Amino acid sequence: MTDTPKLSHCADYVRRHDRDRFLCTLFAAPEKRESLFTLYAFNQEVSKTREMVSEVMLGHIRLQWWRDTLTELGEGQVRKHEVVEPLAELVKDGHLHVPELEAIVAAREFDLEDRQPASQQELDRYINQTSGQVSVLAAKLLGAKGEDAEHAARLAGNAYGLVGIMRAIVFHGRSKRLYLPKDRMDHHEVAQGDVFEFRKKQEIRDFISELAKLARERINEARKHRRALPKQAHAAALPVVLADGYLRKLAKANYDPFSAEFGLARPASLRLTLNGMLKRY
């Protein structure tokens, strides 16, 4: 009997904190997986900043630490850190570039403002700079090149990111944080208190149904461009398959974002496996 291979720090970190991307990475070429785990671990390190600090200033300090770290990577200096060290190798080899990573850090400044996006457009910019950017870099690590491939990867990342915002409503609500567009909430007469107190109102269902329809449209748009993404890079866009599954769960819950059926839904492993094996999303 053979022993199960031990996961690297980054792989195990992603497995514990970003299960969706961990599962999708398993469908990448074996020699590329560790690079993806490193990117996703970096993203997780930065994205969890607001959850880790009790004061906003401490969050700014943490993000500045990452800015300084990335600047040093560009100069060939590497801090001793379990994510920084493998990340440095990707930068050194030219697989990732410091400005691309700095963009992800900069986008997380919004998390520290503790305010909701004023509009769908502002939310879209945030998603594009976070989930969308991560998807683009993942595709590059898997060999995708050119503007068309980058656009396809970004569409996939943005679609997945919008569904992720909806899935995190309860998580954010517990800490009185809100990432839903204010203008659309106002249109549906949904107050912040309705979300923070998890009120099961029809107005909330109507609002979430509208948001889910938009997410579905973006998944469909991402799929229209999948031919632009080379098959060896398809794992970067596979989260779209999981996003599709989560929307199905939300529909079954009659668009109640507070339902466990939606918020605690497990990844659609069978659907993911089929799409992963067929190199599609």
Say which residue the tokens 């929307």 belong to.
247
How sure is the predictor about 266, in pLDDT bands with cuts at 50, 70 and 90?
Answer: confident
- Is residue 213's pLDDT more than 80? yes
Q: What is the mean pLDDT of residues 185-201?
A: 96
96-125 pLDDT tens trace: 999 999 999 999 999 999 899 999 999 999
Per-residue pLDDT at 139 exceeds 60: yes
What is the model's pTM?
0.95
Helix or strand or coil: residue 53? Answer: coil
Long-range pairs of 45-51 with CB within 8 A, sequence gap ≥ 24: 45/83, 46/104, 46/105, 46/108, 47/108, 47/111, 47/130, 48/17, 49/108, 49/111, 49/112, 50/108, 50/111, 50/112, 50/177, 51/175
pLDDT, the chain, mean? 96
**Chain position carrying tokens 């690590």:** 141
What is the pLDDT confidence band of residue 269, given thresholds at 50, 70 and 90?
confident
Q: How far is CA 50 from the centre of its chain?
A: 15
- pLDDT score at 3: 52
pLDDT at 193: 96
Write down all domains in the chain, each with its CATH number in brackets: 10-113 (no CATH), 115-281 (1.10.600.10)
Backbone angles phi and psi of 223, in degrees to 5: -70, -30
Question: How far is it, in rounded angstroms, from Cα 144 to Cα 239?
Answer: 17
Tens digits of residue pLDDT in 69-83: 999 999 999 999 999
* Phi and psi, residue 31, nearest 5°: -75, -10
- The dihedrals phi and psi of 216, each to the nearest 5 degrees, come to -65, -40
pLDDT tens for each residue of 1-47: 445 568 999 999 999 999 999 999 999 999 999 999 999 999 999 99
Percentage of the chain modeled with pLDDT above 90? 94
Handedness of CA 214, 215, 219, 221 (dihedral sign): positive
Intra-chain end-to-end CA distance of the chain, in Å: 35
What is the rounded average pLDDT of the residues 153-172? 97
